[in-house]
Amino acid sequence: MDFISSETVAPLMHPGMPVQDAIELCSFLVESTKGFVRFLPGADTVGGEVDIAVVTRHERFKWIKRKHYYPQNLNKLETDHV
């Protein structure tokens, strides 16, 4: 198992990774999981819209991608996200 693990595991993250790369990696992993689960027998257990947020030391919590439950004109106070 150690040999197989050493030959098949790829390090995807590192501490110096730019925030944008980390965002794109997380989005890729979520979409890959959704696609994989779609083809498994039985009900889908992963799916739907995905909300993405980033937490950093300097910017704290920041929405990157967020679905709105109401039209944009009713979300006037929420202008700091896509």
- Reply yes or no on whether the pLDDT at 81 is more than 60: no
Supply 13's token pair.
Answer: 């993250």
Supply 41's token pair.
Answer: 């027998």
In this prediction the pTM is 0.70
Tell me the per-residue pLDDT of 18-41, one tens digit each, with 9 for 90 and over.
Answer: 999 999 999 999 999 999 999 999
Question: Residue 78: pLDDT band by 50, 70, 90 thresholds?
Answer: low
Three-state secondary structure readout of the chain: CHHHHHHHCCCCCCCCCCHHHHHHHHHHHHHHHHHHHHCCCCCCCCCCCCCEEEEECCCEEEEEECCCCCCHHHCCCCCCCC
Tell me the per-residue pLDDT of 42-77, one tens digit each, with 9 for 90 and over.
Answer: 988 888 889 999 999 888 998 888 887 777 676 666
Give me the pLDDT at residue 8, please.
Answer: 87
